[in-house]
Amino acid sequence: MKTRNAFQYEEQFVQFIREQKERFYLLAYSYTKNEQDALDVVQDSIQKAMLSLDRLENVDYMKSWFYKIVVRTAIDFLRKHKRLQVTDDDTLHYLTPAQEDSYEDVDLEYALDTLPQMYREVVILHYFEDLKLADVASILDIKLSTAKSRLYKALQLLKIQLQDVKGEITHG
Amino acid sequence: MDKKLKDLEQTYHNIPIPQELDEVVERALKQNRQKKKRRTPQWLIGSAAAALLFTASLNVSPAMARTLADIPVVGSVVKVLTWTEYELAEDTYDATIKVPAIENLTNPALANALNEKYRTEGKALYDEFVAEIGDLKKNGVEAHLGVDSGYEIKTDNEQILSIGRYVVNTAGSSSTTIQYDTIDKQQEILITLPMLFKDDHYLTTISENIKEQMRAQMADAEQGKIYWLDEETMPGESFTAIRADQPFYISEQGKLIISFDKYEVAPGYMGVVEFEIPTDILQNDLVSATYIH
């Protein structure tokens, strides 16, 4: 029974991975902030997934199931390597190139990057990866209500930050 | 969606995708497929578990071992067991070392000597491996290293038990060595190569025969076999004669088999090579026809 599942889903899984690999990479990158580490996370995730493909009950869950693996692998990776980013605002400002033209882009990126991981992952999964909040909650192993409140808080933070950014631009 | 969020999403998707991604993904997919094919069939896990339990109870309970030895059928089957297994699996390091143990010999000195040898060598192999990867890690060298050691029973009949222990070292390419121990189950003695023969003349007889066999095999080009026989192709490395303690075993049919490690007399792709020595050419050298006939 178990092995049948695995073989049945393998083709679909391979296709799914090939089609969506850029998305997984970006998700991994949002945690690792580093090209090589993100590639490692993607590779580990695929390997883990293929080994436990027989535990996937329904092929419809493949997407959120695999995102869960990527998220966990990425978090494990950060924990193992303790490479959490501890960059304060001043340093970031200092490192940001002082070019008027690219200001907006840099600050947008900065806005997402400075968002604490627990808020950032909700935003990415829900808005950028088009996952239902219930799925996001299950991927992150949190309650639906927690996911909702984190998303709300994230939007609040982003709004404030983005407004601040605009203020800076007009003033500066 | 909010305009800001749209912009955010845009920046998120603008992060450059490295070219290696394709390769990394394909490699991960392929690696797993190979792994899956090699996966042990379910029934084998079941019987391996049963065997393990069996071994464990034999090791734990001498009473049970004795009881089993008394039952004629089981007694004649239970001869070589896996005593210990060392396992180590890290990202790029892999070790599986199975240490055999010979049970039910009534000559305790022989059994102990062999089992002690197996255990010491198994442990040494493992310790060496751990030390080696410790060194690599300390120096920050990333390397793929593996060792796989185990045993196979070549012959187990009324008279003879021949057990071969192999070690495969993998570090880029792999090398394989194999050692044999052959026991006379009735006399309960360990058989060595020299004791089978009247004098040293067997070294020449066997070596000449092996050379003949090598030449004959190489003459048949279709088989694609190559041995280092010619002093011109492998100066200083070519095969001249067997050692007095050359690995050997006695086959089920009572034939003498001489074994060479990988790379010993042939290129790596030939692996471990064996030669069966025809009994009739050994007649003048053999002490008796008890073992080899």
The ipTM assigned to this model is 0.72
Distance in angstroms (rounded) separating the CA atoms of residues B125 and B165: 12
What count of residues does chain A have?
172
Yes or no, beta carbons of A14 and B21 under 8 Å apart: no
Yes or no, beta carbons of B25 and A29 under 8 Å apart: no
CB pairs below 8 Å between A and B: how many?
A: 75
pTM for the model stands at: 0.45
CATH class of the domain defined by B79-191: alpha beta
Contact call for residues A65 and A82 (beta carbons, < 8 A): no
Per-residue pLDDT of chain B (293 residues; tens, 9 = 90+): 567 778 888 888 888 888 889 888 888 888 655 544 444 455 555 555 555 555 555 555 555 555 544 444 444 443 577 777 888 777 777 888 888 887 777 777 777 888 888 888 888 888 888 888 888 777 776 677 788 888 888 888 877 888 888 888 877 667 788 888 888 877 778 888 888 888 888 999 999 999 999 888 888 777 778 888 876 666 666 788 898 889 999 988 889 999 998 888 887 778 888 999 999 998 888 888 888 88
CATH class of the domain defined by A85-172: mainly alpha
A75-107 CB burial, b ≥16 within 10 A, e <16: eebbeeeeeeeeeeeeeeeeeeeeeeeebeebb
Domain coordinates in residue numbering, chain A: 1-84, 85-172
Distance in angstroms (rounded) separating the CA atoms of residues B163 and A7: 39
Q: Which residue of B has its CA nearest to A155?
A: B5
Q: Does A130 touch chain B (CB under 8 A)?
A: no
The CATH classification of domain A1-84, taken from the options 3.40.50.970, 1.10.1740.10, 3.30.420.280, 3.30.70.580: 1.10.1740.10
Q: Does A6 touch chain B (CB under 8 A)?
A: yes
Q: Does domain B196-282 have CATH number 3.90.640.20?
A: yes
Domain coordinates in residue numbering, chain B: 22-77, 79-191, 196-282
CA distances from A135 to A27, A65, A108, B8, B271 (A): 15, 9, 26, 21, 53
Contact call for residues B88 and B95 (beta carbons, < 8 A): yes
Partner residue opposite A162 with nearest CB, options B4, B21, B25 = B4
Distance in angstroms (rounded) separating the CA atoms of residues A91 and A85: 12
Partner residue opposite A111 with nearest CB, options B8, B21, B25 = B8
